[in-house]
Structure 1
Amino acid sequence: MSILFSPLRLRSIEFRNRLWVSPMCMYSAVDGVPQEWHHTHLAQFASGGAGLVVAEATAVVPEGRISPRDTGLWNDEQRDAWAPIVQAIHDRGAVAGIQLAHAGRKASTWWPWADARGSVPSTEGGWTTTAPSAVAYDGFDAPIALDAAGIERVVDAFAASARRALDAGFDVLEIHGAHGYLLHQFLSPLSNRRADEYGGELANRARLLLRVIDAVRAESGDDVPVLVRISATDHAEGGFTPEEAAIVGGWAADHGADLVDVSSGGLVAHQRIEVFPGYQVALAETVRQGGRIPVSAVGLITAAEQAERVLEEGAADAIFAGREWLRDPHFALRAAHELGAEIAWPPQYERARWR
C-alpha cells in the first residue's frame, strides 16, 4: 500500500492522495485578475491526479504583489474570475487551494522574463513597498517601515482575501510566510529591526504571522484547512533557524493552523544554499518533530520512490512539488503507475494506465 497515494484528512477535507501541486507564480494576471492561462494551467494538474492544487501567491492588497502581473484577491472581480478555475479543479477530482500573500519589500519587481531587473519604477507601474523595517532587499528600492495602522491593514486584508477565496469556492487556504516576503520579513532578525512588540525576541517577530492565522481562521470557521508556508532557514548567518521554525510551527498549530508547508530561503541575496534532491526534507522533519504539527516537504522531489520514501521515513505527511509538475502535468498518474498504486484515472487516459 503506497503512503503517497493514501488519503489524508485535514479538518473536513479529505485529499485523495498526498502528492500536491505547490503554488507557482505565473506572472500572467491583468490588474490582479487571473486569465485563461491560469484556468488551463491549474486544471491540468487536477486531470493529472494531484490531491491538492494550490494556486499561486495571490496578493491581499495591490501593493502586496511581487510584480504588476501577479494575481490578487483584494476585490470582487478577482474573486469572480477565480470561481470557474476552482470549479474546473473540483470537476477533475482534486482539492483546490490558494496561497494568500503580501510581498513586502520584495514587491513591485519585474517578472522573470522582463528585460529589466530589480524594482519597477512608478513610471512603469511600480509602487513604494512596505516592510517591518526600512531595510531594502539587495538591489531593490528601500521600503517604508509599517506603522501600527499599516500592520492592522495587513491583518484585515488577509482576512478579507480569505473570505473572497472561500466565496470563490476554494477548499484550502495557505498563508505565505516564506521566501522573503512580508510575513517572513517579520520572522527574521535579518530584515526585522523593530523595537516595538513586533521586533526583537522570536515571540514578537512571530506576532504578525500568528495574528494573520487568527484572522484567517476566524473567516474560515472550523471546517477549512489552513496551511502556513514558512522558510525554515534563511541560509544566512544570524537569520531565522530551523529550531525557531519548529517553535513557530507549534505556535501556528495553537492558533489554528493545520499543516506547515516547509520550504527555505529567499530572504537575503547573500544566502548560501546547498541544493540536492530533497534538500529541504530534513527541515520539514525538524518542524514536524518539534512543532507537533503535520508538515509537507518540498524541494527537488521529482520521483515517485523518492516521495514515497520521505513519507515512509516519517519526515513529512505530504509532498509538494513544483518544477516536476511543470515538466509533467500528470506527475501523479505517472507516480502511481511506477509504484503500482491503484488510483482512479480519467477515463480518457485509461489506455496509458498499464502499458
Structure 2
Amino acid sequence: MQSKLLAPYEIREMTFKNRVVMSPMCMYAVEKKDGIVTDFHFTHYGSRAVGQVGLIMLEATAVLPEGRISEQDLGIWSDDQIAGLKKLVAHLHKSGAKVGIQLAHAGRKAQVPGPIYSATKLAFSEKYQTPEALTIPQIETVVSAFQKAVKRAEAAGFDVIEIHAAHGYLVNQFLSPLVNRREDQYGGPIGNRYQFLNEIIEAVRSEWTKPLFVRISAEDYAQEGVHLEDYLMMSRWLRDQGVDLIDVSTGGVIPLEAYDVYPGYQVQYADRIRKKVGIATGAVGMITTGNQAEEILRNERADLVFIGRELLRDPYWVKTSAKLLNAEDQLEVPTPYQRGWR
C-alpha cells in the first residue's frame, strides 16, 4: 500500500514531492537586526530540505520593521533583503524542496523599539507595549507593504506565499472582536473586520499567480471571540478571493493561562473547513508521527500536514515516517546518504 503522506501533491499547477510541510516557526536568528538571513538559516532549513520535506515554509517574515515580533526576525521590507532570501531559496531547491514564505506583521505583539500598531489601542498584556490604533492612511501603508513584499518574494524565487492571519498578530487582531473595537469600516460586523485581510489578499493576488495560503486561528478560546462558525464564513470569502489553501491553527489573540491540548487537537478545524467550504486545508498542532499524519490524509481531514516542533527534534522526520509506514521505496534518497538510508 502506497503512503499518502509521501505521495506527490499538486496545487495550482505546482507539484510538491510529498505532503509534508515544515510549519513556519520563528527562529530569532537574525544577527544584525537588519532582517537579513544568516548562516544559521542555511543550516536550519537546508537540513530539512535534505531530509526530504516537500514544502519548507520560512518563518514569519516581517513586511515592515515595526511589524517584527523581535529584532532578530527575518524581514522582507527592503530590497537589501532579497539577495539573501534568493540564495537561501536556491539552496533549498537543490534538494528538491518547494519553498514558501510567511508574510507577517506582529501588530500589538511586536517587541521592538519605537511605536507599534494594532486595530485599536489595547495592549496584549501588561508585559507588552500599548499600541497605537492604525489610521486609515496607515492601514493603506501596511497593505502596500504586503504588496511590495510579494514583489520581493517573487524576485527571490519563492514557490508559495502564506499570509499570517493567526496567533494574535496584526491581521488576527483585526479579525477578532476581542481586539478590534474600531467604529469605522474596519470594525464592528464580521464583514468589516475581514476588510483588512480582504485588501491584503487583493494586493497580494495582483502580484502573485502561484499558490497562496492563509494561516488562521479558527478558535479564540473566549466566548466573545471568533469561533469556527465565523471562520467557515470567512473561509468561503478566502476561497472566492483565490486563496488555495487554509493553514488551520487556533488561539493566540489574547493571553490564556491554559487550554486543552492533545495530539492532533487542531485537526478538527481543518477537517470541518475542508468539508464545509470545499477548500484545501493544512493540519497542524501536535502531529508527531507518520502514522498520525497518514491517518489525517487517508481520512481526508486535510490535504497537507504541517509539522513544527517534531521537525526541530528530527530534521529527518520524513525518513523516520517512511520507515514507520513501510514506505521507504517512495522516499527520494540524497545521493550522499544512500549508504545509510537504504
Assess same fold via TM > 0.5.
Answer: yes
Which residue of structure 2 lines up, in the alignment, with residue 337 of structure 1? 323
CA–CA distance in 2 between the matches of 1:148 and 1:161?
20
Once the two structures are superposed, residues 4-24 of structure 1 have per-residue CA deviations (whole angstroms, 9 ceiling, x without a partner) of 111111113100010110111
Mapped pair 1:94 → 2:97: yes
Contact 1:229 1:261 in 2 (8 A): yes
Which residue of structure 1 lines up, in the alignment, with residue 123 of structure 2? 136
CA–CA distance in 2 between the matches of 1:155 and 1:290?
29
Which residue of structure 2 lines up, in the alignment, with residue 196 of structure 1? 184
Which residue of structure 2 lines up, in the alignment, with residue 274 of structure 1? 260
Which residue of structure 2 lines up, in the alignment, with residue 218 of structure 1? 206
Once the two structures are superposed, residues 204-234 of structure 1 have per-residue CA deviations (whole angstroms, 9 ceiling, x without a partner) of 111111211111111113xx10000000111
Moved over 4 A (4+): none
Which residue of structure 2 lines up, in the alignment, with residue 117 of structure 1? none
Report the AA paired with residue 166 of structure 2. A
Which residue of structure 1 lines up, in the alignment, with residue 174 of structure 2? 186
Report the AA paired with residue 208 of structure 1. F
SS of the residue 2:167 aligns to:
coil
Once the two structures are superposed, residues 19-40 of structure 1 have per-residue CA deviations (whole angstroms, 9 ceiling, x without a partner) of 1101111111131111111111
SS of the residue 2:206 aligns to:
helix
Alignment of 1:294-333 (within 5 A): 294-333=280-319
Residue segments in structure 2 that go unaligned for 5+ positions in a row = none
Mapped pair 1:62 → 2:65: yes
Which residue of structure 2 lines up, in the alignment, with residue 12 of structure 1? 13
Mapped pair 1:148 → 2:133: no
CA–CA distance in 2 between the matches of 1:272 and 1:236?
12
Which residue of structure 1 lines up, in the alignment, with residue 107 of structure 2? 104
Q: Output the aligned Cα RMSD.
A: 1.1
Contact 1:246 1:288 in 2 (8 A): no
Once the two structures are superposed, residues 66-86 of structure 1 have per-residue CA deviations (whole angstroms, 9 ceiling, x without a partner) of 011111001111111111110
Once the two structures are superposed, residues 172-229 of structure 1 have per-residue CA deviations (whole angstroms, 9 ceiling, x without a partner) of 00000000000000110000001111111111111111211111111113xx100000
Shift of 1:283: 1.1
CA–CA distance in 1 between the matches of 2:259 and 2:55?
28
Mapped pair 1:291 → 2:277: yes
CA–CA distance in 2 between the matches of 1:339 and 1:204?
46
Which residue of structure 2 lines up, in the alignment, with residue 116 of structure 1? none
Contact 1:250 1:290 in 2 (8 A): no
Shift of 1:347: 1.8
SS of the residue 1:142 aligns to:
coil
Contact 1:235 1:271 in 2 (8 A): no
What TM-score does the superposition give when structure 1 sets the normalisation length? 0.93
Contact 1:54 1:98 in 2 (8 A): yes
Which residue of structure 1 lines up, in the alignment, with residue 37 of structure 2? 34
Shift of 1:264: 0.7
Contact 1:232 1:245 in 2 (8 A): yes
Residue segments in structure 1 that go unaligned for 5+ positions in a row = 109-119, 121-125
Which residue of structure 1 lines up, in the alignment, with residue 243 of structure 2? 257
CA–CA distance in 1 between the matches of 2:81 and 2:167?
24
CA–CA distance in 2 between the matches of 1:199 and 1:335?
45
Shift of 1:271: 6.0
Report the AA paired with residue 179 of structure 1. H
Report the AA paired with residue 336 of structure 2. Q
Contact 1:19 1:50 in 2 (8 A): yes
CA–CA distance in 2 between the matches of 1:49 and 1:213?
30
Mapped pair 1:245 → 2:231: yes
Shift of 1:352: 3.2
Mapped pair 1:77 → 2:77: no
CA–CA distance in 1 between the matches of 2:259 and 2:139?
31
Contact 1:64 1:104 in 2 (8 A): yes
Once the two structures are superposed, residues 312-350 of structure 1 have per-residue CA deviations (whole angstroms, 9 ceiling, x without a partner) of 111100100110000000111111121122221112222
What TM-score does the superposition give when structure 2 sets the normalisation length? 0.96
Which residue of structure 2 lines up, in the alignment, with residue 347 of structure 1? 335
Contact 1:262 1:284 in 2 (8 A): yes
Alignment of 1:38-49 (within 5 A): 38-49=41-52
Cα distance change of structure 1 residues 90 and 69 upon mapping to structure 2, 3 Å threshold:
same
Report the AA paired with residue 251 of structure 1. W
